[in-house]
Structures are given as C-alpha cells and as structure tokens.
Amino acid sequence: MSGASQYFSHIHDVGQLNSDQIREAILERHRSTGYRLEFVPGDAERNTRTFKKLLGDKEQSQTYLQESYFEKLSDVSEGNLSIAILIWLQSIRDFDRETFRIAPLEIIDMDKIEVPERNVMFLLAALVLHDRLNEEELAMALHQGVTECRLMATRLKSKGLLVEGKNGFQMNQLVYRQVIRLLKRRNVLH
C-alpha cells in the first residue's frame, strides 16, 4: 500500500508464501465448511505418465492433482495469500451437498506466446488502465477501427488472455500479473 505509514502506526511486511503454506492456509479455511474436495484433472495432468499410473487409485490421484493445483496456484499468486484465495474461489467449478469440485488451473505462459505486436500491447495496456472496455471503447482508446479492435480482442480471448463479459472485454485474472510484467519490460507501462 502506497503511503501506508501515514495511516497505520505499525506495518508488517509479509514475505512470499510457498506452495505448502498457501495450501495449508486455504485447506484450513476449507475444512471448516465440512465439504469434501474433488480436484478435476486438466488436459496437462491427464497426459502425464504419473497421473495415468494413478488412475486406478482415486485417493492417490486426488493427492497428485491437489499438489499440482497448489504448485500452480503458488506460481500464479506469487506467494500472495489474498490473490491465492481469490483464484481458489474462482476455481470452484460446481458443488453438491457433500463435495466441492475444483477446476484445474490452466496457466498461460507469457514467454511461450509470441512477442505481441505494438497494437496488441497497447490494447492490453488500455485494459489494464480501464479494467473493462467494449469494442467501441477499445477503438476510441487505440484510435483504430472497431473491426480491427474486435479482431485483436477476439484473438487474445482465444489465447486465454482476455475474458468477454456482457459489458465488454477484461483481462483474465490468471494472467494479470504476467501481462503487467510483459508491459513493463516493453516500457508500455511504468
């Protein structure tokens, strides 16, 4: 928090938590609900040799999926428990009277995506600054045609960088920090 010392007498800097600490903090909160957890395998987990070996044993396969989930969650949240809890809540696929089903985290590696062209980086920067924009607002912010902006936004949506809602496009929260780092490295954001 910028300028926190003006408002608070004691400030404690909390370091980054590792995946075990994040797992324990989230699962401790979850235990109080009384629900069981079921981790749903994603494509990445289904194709691993380790998971295929565990298919017959539900308990071990769930342990494997849980460990994989919390490692990814720790990477995405960068050790920040507040962000990890928000992503955890968004990962709840569905539930019934006894069980919460947790969807797999599909993390987009920004380094594997080709270096975006300048217009795409400006589109991402506009969404970072304004949070959510529809096609017309994107066109106005980028000084481009609505069709061009729609094509760029749709392409980014298909790559998992954007999410489209009823009020327009917004950044996928799972890649928000990675996009910020990319835009700072390219000197688009400061």
Domains of the chain: 15-102 (no CATH), 118-185 (1.10.10.10)
Q: What is the pLDDT of residue 132?
A: 93
CA distance linking residue 56 with residue 53, whole number of Å: 7
pLDDT band at 16 (very low <50, low <70, confident <90, very high): confident
pLDDT of residue 142: 92
Give the pLDDT band (50/70/90) at residue 18.
confident
Q: How many CB atoms lie within 10 A of CB 103?
A: 14
Determine how many CB atoms are found less than 10 A away from the CB of residue 94. Answer: 11
Q: What's the whole-number mean pLDDT along residues 16-23?
A: 89
Report pLDDT digits (tens) over 120-169: 889 999 999 998 999 999 999 999 999 999 999 988 888 778 899 899 99
- Find the helix or strand (DSSP H, E) in which 154 lies: helix 146-158
Average pLDDT over all residues of the chain:
85
Q: Give the pLDDT confidence score for residue 114 in this predicted structure.
A: 53
Confidence class of residue 99 from pLDDT cuts 50, 70 and 90?
very high
Q: Is the pLDDT of residue 172 over 90?
A: no
Report helix, strand or coil for 23: helix
Contact indicator for 78, 15 with CB cutoff of 8 Å: no
Average pLDDT over residues 52-69: 89
Torsion of CA 124, 130, 136, 138, to 10 degrees: -20
Question: Is residue 2 pLDDT above 60, yes or no?
Answer: no
Q: For residues 158 and 24, which has the higher predicted lDDT (pLDDT)?
A: 24
What residues pair up with 171 in beta bridges, in sequence order? 162
Residue 3 or 181, more confident: 181
The span from the CA of 118 to the CA of 16, in Å, is 33
